[in-house]
Amino acid sequence: MTTGFFWDERCFWHGGGNYAGMLPVGGLVQPMNGGLPESPETKRRLKNLIAVTGLARDLVMRGAAPATTADLLRVHPAHYLERFKALSDAGGGELGRRTPFGPGGYEIAALSAGLAKAALLAVLQDEMDNAYALSRPPGHHCLPDFPNGFCLLNNIGIAIEAARAAGLAQRFAVLDWDVHHGNGTEAIFYDRADVLTVSIHQDRNYPMDTGAFADRGTGAGAGCNLNIPLPPGTGHKGYLAAMDRLALPAIRDFAPDVLIIACGYDAAANDPLGRMLATADTFAQMTARVMKLARDICDGRLVMVHEGGYSETYVPFCGHAVLQTMAGSTVHAPDPFAEVFPLRQPDAGFDAYLDTVIDDMAAHLTA
């Protein structure tokens, strides 16, 4: 396997705001992570872990050019980009909801989108079998003209439109397993028949008013959006059941040219912004499943774009498990939480309840 890993040091320099965790705190308490709610350390520590274990030697490490203005304009209106650039040049600020940025934030966001674009193009041009973009800031919450949820540009939307403009693919499937709803990607493609968007998320975590199962797309895009909201506490078995019984069959039926994963790690058992119980092994097994599906339906073409994940201790191990699986590498990072998190999984009663939740959604899909 040839697996690309697209990253850039400058993506770790994105900053701004005065937050403690996800809440603006003003002057009341010491800000965290340079004030930004979304920490650079989760991603930097993943990149460092693959260097320390040697997994990086089994990957093709690449940088990328920033997404061009033409790339950004395929998804975001000119008035939004102009306001974003002007405020970034003026030292940073806030244009949406709890999504601050510092000086140069515009250029860093364009670079983050450029990593996603380069990863997708490299796979579609058969330069590598699959690829991972360590994009930061993340993208899946960003609407065309409204940044939210720490997302300033919609990285995956920009990558898809660049690939389409280059004539490299016609049909795209996006599976978003970040614990939060992929509301931005859903909104961009909601009326489109050529892009399937699937989001597995914690029910009413963020945003609290989007992500319902009933939201299936509109117009030509009717049936091309699938939300799979799961109750807080869903663990390893529940995630794999939702994949096997809902997400993967929908993608198989859609028959895309390429499968793109909005890869957040905030469904992990100790994430501060989620209340789920996934483990590094859950992410490895979900990765094995999407790789098999991609082999079955689109010559293995698979691209992962990093989204959320806020545990500085655990994101590196979850990401390492994903990358080891993608590359088919023997370089393993033992999960230090493996003796704890399996013991915290839901009991049989919860799993039986979750089965009824998934059964109900599956019945509606086949009705």
Residues that bind Zn ion (CB under 5 A): 178, 180, 264, 266, 308
Q: How many secondary structure helices (H) and strands (E) does the chain include? A: 11, 10
Q: In terms of CB distance, is 266 or 335 closer to Zn ion?
A: 266
CA distances from 236 to 233, 239, 269, 277, 316 (A): 10, 5, 10, 7, 18
Strands in 172-176's sheet, in edge-to-edge order, are 60-62, 3-6, 130-133, 302-306, 258-263, 172-176, 195-202, 225-230
- Least gap, CB of 331 to Zn ion (angstroms): 27
- Least gap, CB of 178 to Zn ion (angstroms): 4
Q: Are 192 and 221 in contact (CB under 8 A)?
A: yes
Q: In terms of CB distance, is 20 or 168 closer to Zn ion?
A: 20
Residue 237 DSSP SS3: helix
Q: In terms of CB distance, is 45 or 62 closer to Zn ion?
A: 45
Candidates 141, 181, 201, 320; catalytic one: 141
Q: Which residue is nearest to Zn ion (CB)?
A: 308
* Bond into 137 cis (ω within 30): yes
* Bond into 272 cis (ω within 30): no
- Least gap, CB of 140 to Zn ion (angstroms): 8
Give the residue among 143, 127, 107, 155 at the shortest CA–CA distance from 263: 155
Question: Does 141 participate in catalysis according to the annotation?
Answer: yes
- Least gap, CB of 201 to Zn ion (angstroms): 8
Q: Report the alpha-carbon distance of residue 154 to residue 167 in Å, rounded.
A: 20
Q: In terms of CB distance, is 74 or 98 closer to Zn ion?
A: 98
Catalytic residue numbers? 141
